[in-house]
Structure 1
Amino acid sequence: MIKEEFLHRFTLAPRIQPVQEFSFTGETRPASVLITLHETAQGLEVVLTKRAAHLRHHAGQISFPGGKVEPTDLSHQHTALRETFEEIGLSVGADDIVGELPTFTTITGFSVTPIVAITQLTGPFVIDKGEVAEVFSIPLGHLLAPHNHLFHTVTRHNTTYEVYFIPWQNTYVWGATAGMLINLAKLLGLRD
């Protein structure tokens, strides 16, 4: 998918009901992530991170840069931009933001607001090794294609959930990250 098609679909998209949403009893913790798109000769790609293996939560998982909302953050957009810069050294400007997706509630009790941006990658990433093992990109078209949206069931606290995953080369994008991408595909009219 090229930038112009993405922007056309995104700006004309109606509000959607998320494809996947988890109920969480208790108070959720607010967080925000940045879905960073960048142009290549083949079309738009999505910047993703592999979380550091030593982390206590979600170690080694594929995710968007982002994290919990801090008291000093002015908005979800501020959180996403701050966390992205801290984790991978990518400075994304407010002019690069194209919008946001519906809030995604995770099984683990986070209420995540995905912010969507299209930006240029102008230099090497500066990775915070305390949080991120590596940064890479996957073609947006692959991530949005419904035939790549698979799921398996997971039981947590006596409740069974269908958790989405998207295979890519030798890894999987799964859980909340896959769920947010599938919501993006729905918003763009690429799936029911």
Structure 2
Amino acid sequence: MTLAERLRAALATGQTRDPVLLERDDGDFAIEVGEPLVPAAVLVPFVDRPEPTILLILRPETMRRHAGQIAFPGGRVDPGDDGVVGAALREAQEEIGLAPSLVDVIGSVDTYRTITGYQVTPVIGVVPPDLVLTPQPAEVADIFEVPLAHLLEPMNHVEQAVEWQGRERRYFEIFWEGRRIWGATAAMIVNLGRRLTYPA
């Protein structure tokens, strides 16, 4: 069974479970009631290795928002996109030079509402190993892979709390070789782990 086949089976099983607990990072205070959310999408690229990995990017320190943070390739859904899948594939091509034809799209998982007013849909895709990718310098400082087993291991999901706007805000951190994955990206990984049984 290929990685794509195992992921499709795991996702089909996982979608029958109760909804995940962590759906947003804004609590009940960051976005005004009735304020529209901006549709966005990210590509979660599973690299088809004997021990699968997930590809992530590091945002440059020069960015106005999310400077120096680890993320998935992605961004807002544009009017010309073919939905969230089209947006995720377009953004991955723009940000890291990943051709859409190289992505075997598996499906999407629970949307995640960010503190900045975006409703983000993670799109799962499988990509071949050892691709030559080209980061867009204004948006991507580095491209790297993290073992899937490490990311989905609940023991590696460290829950933290911080005081923000007078209230406690909780978030997850995942560490890998000195890199800190946190915020919306870590939350989406936690959600993914709750939806998927690790496809061993």
TM (norm. structure 1) is 0.90
Identical counterparts, % of pairs: 35
Alpha carbons of structure 1 residues 158 and 29: separation in structure 2 relative to 1, 3 Å: farther
Report deviation, 1:158.
Answer: 2.7
> Does residue 1:38 correspond to 2:47, yes or no?
yes
Distance (Å, rounded) in 2 between the aligned partners of 1:76 and 1:15: 23
Distance (Å, rounded) in 2 between the aligned partners of 1:49 and 1:95: 17
Distance (Å, rounded) in 2 between the aligned partners of 1:73 and 1:155: 38
CA contact (8 A) 2:40 2:121 kept: yes
Q: 1:21 aligns to what?
A: 23
Distance (Å, rounded) in 2 between the aligned partners of 1:177 and 1:118: 18
Distance (Å, rounded) in 2 between the aligned partners of 1:159 and 1:107: 14
Q: 2:179 aligns to what?
A: 171
Name the SS of the counterpart of 1:40 in structure 2.
coil
CA contact (8 A) 2:59 2:67 kept: yes
Report deviation, 1:137.
Answer: 0.4
Q: 2:10 aligns to what?
A: 9
CA contact (8 A) 1:16 1:186 kept: no
Report deviation, 1:139.
Answer: 0.4
Which has the higher mean CA deviation after the structures are superposed, 17-26 or 178-187?
A: 17-26
Alpha carbons of structure 1 residues 32 and 106: separation in structure 2 relative to 1, 3 Å: same
Report deviation, 1:122.
Answer: 5.5
Letter in 2 for 1:72: G
Name the SS of the counterpart of 2:100 in structure 1.
coil
TM (norm. structure 2) is 0.86
Distance (Å, rounded) in 1 between the aligned partners of 2:115 and 2:90: 24
Alpha carbons of structure 1 residues 95 and 36: separation in structure 2 relative to 1, 3 Å: closer
CA contact (8 A) 2:11 2:196 kept: yes
Which has the higher mean CA deviation after the structures are superposed, 50-59 or 119-128?
A: 119-128
Which has the higher mean CA deviation after the structures are superposed, 164-173 or 181-190?
A: 181-190
Letter in 2 for 1:161: R
Distance (Å, rounded) in 1 between the aligned partners of 2:75 and 2:66: 12
CA contact (8 A) 2:60 2:68 kept: yes
CA contact (8 A) 1:98 1:118 kept: yes
Name the SS of the counterpart of 1:132 in structure 2.
coil
> Does residue 1:160 correspond to 2:140, yes or no?
no
**What aligned pairs does 1:97-176 form with structure 2 within 5 A after superposition?**
97-121=105-129, 123-176=131-184
Runs of 4+ in 1 over 4 A off after TM superposition: none
Report deviation, 1:155.
Answer: 3.0
| Number of positions where the alignment pairs a residue of Structure 1 with one of Structure 2 | 188
Alpha carbons of structure 1 residues 51 and 105: separation in structure 2 relative to 1, 3 Å: same
Report deviation, 1:10.
Answer: 1.8
Which has the higher mean CA deviation after the structures are superposed, 3-12 or 95-104?
A: 3-12
For the aligned residues, what is the CA RMSD? 1.9
